[in-house]
Amino acid sequence: MTDIAAPINTEPLWTRARASFARAVAAIGDAAAIAMLTALPKKLRRQIIAWLCPLEHVVRKLLLAEAAELHRAHREAAARAAAGPRLVLIPLKGMYMGPPRAENGTAALRAACAAEPRAPTSTRRRQPDLSRPETWRARFSLALPRDPRLVPESRAPRIRPLWGPTPPPPPPPPERAPRVIREEDAPFRLARRFEALRRVLENPKPHAERLAHILARETRRWTQIAQRYWMRPCRTNDYDPDDPRLSLDAFGASHDGQYVFSDSS
């Protein structure tokens, strides 16, 4: 059992992160401006990464603190529900407990929907509108660590038969071709990360719930995943010159979050 301190108010840190994001937009432009770049010189790409990576690092640490608080509240609610009396409703066979069903209306609605012709759908992917980042398919990457004990299926041990000749080993997997990133796609890839970061800063709760669900599930198999996630450093050594302690403060605010998922009390 690990002693866990009281939850920390992360709202001031979220406010500082949003202010840092606003300074990044003022320095390098928003997601639409980055996506419309026809070329991405090395110096400009380095400038975008210098703002993007520290902000992503701060947001991941704050999401860990929020996810730990959600997991703590869910666990306490489950403990209270298990300790108190439970009311179980057992409906009798053939008894309908809900409102009266409208069979005729439902059947007519299904028949009308089936008779209505559907427009043919195109299999080609639509090109994103670069001037409207809110319509992009941009999902924030949580960058969870991988379990070092996880064995891929191609290297998993095989069950040998008790009789007969030993079957030959499976053929080695084919070598994957190196991933080629077109030069014209590089600005949009960075712009999509920038837009995903903006969505998290605008509403972090759904992302914290997703992280809490993943960590609670993976902790059953790998108990150190939350600790490894908290210890993962930033990919670069850059920082916001107007708020150089933002990353350190977010790192400290999420310190107790690593113990919430591994605590068995």
Write down the residue that tokens 């107007």 correspond to.
242
Query: Strand (E) positions, 125-220?
Result: none
Phi-psi region of 199 (alpha: psi -120 to 50; beta: other; left: phi over 0): alpha
Phi (first) and psi of residue 213, to 5 degrees: -65, -40
Picking from 69, 70, 58, the residue whose alpha carbon sits closest to that of residue 197 is 58
The pLDDT score that the predictor gives to residue 24 is 95
Instruction: Judge contact between 190 and 34, C-beta under 8 A.
Output: yes
The pLDDT score that the predictor gives to residue 240 is 92
- Which pLDDT tens digits describe the chain residue by residue (265 residues)? 444 455 678 999 999 999 999 999 999 999 999 999 888 888 999 999 999 999 999 999 999 999 999 998 888 888 877 776 767 777 776 655 555 555 555 555 566 556 556 555 554 567 888 888 889 999 999 999 988 877 776 666 667 667 777 777 777 777 877 766 666 678 899 999 999 999 999 999 999 999 999 999 999 888 899 999 999 999 889 999 999 999 999 999 998 888 888 765 5
The pLDDT score that the predictor gives to residue 96 is 55
Instruction: Judge contact between 234 and 46, C-beta under 8 A.
Output: no
Instruction: Judge contact between 152 and 227, C-beta under 8 A.
Output: no
pTM of the model: 0.75
The pLDDT score that the predictor gives to residue 112 is 57
Q: How far apart are CA 7 and CA 246, in angstroms?
A: 19
Structure tokens at 170: 């499976």
DSSP letter string over 68-121? Answer: HHHHHHHHHHHHHHHHS------PPTT---SSPP-HHHHHHHHHHHHHSPPPPP
The pLDDT score that the predictor gives to residue 198 is 95
The pLDDT score that the predictor gives to residue 177 is 76
Residues 6+ apart with CB under 8 A from 15: none
| 194 SS3 class | helix
The pLDDT score that the predictor gives to residue 47 is 93
- DSSP code, position 156: S
The pLDDT score that the predictor gives to residue 49 is 93
Q: How far apart are CA 33 and CA 30, in angstroms?
A: 5
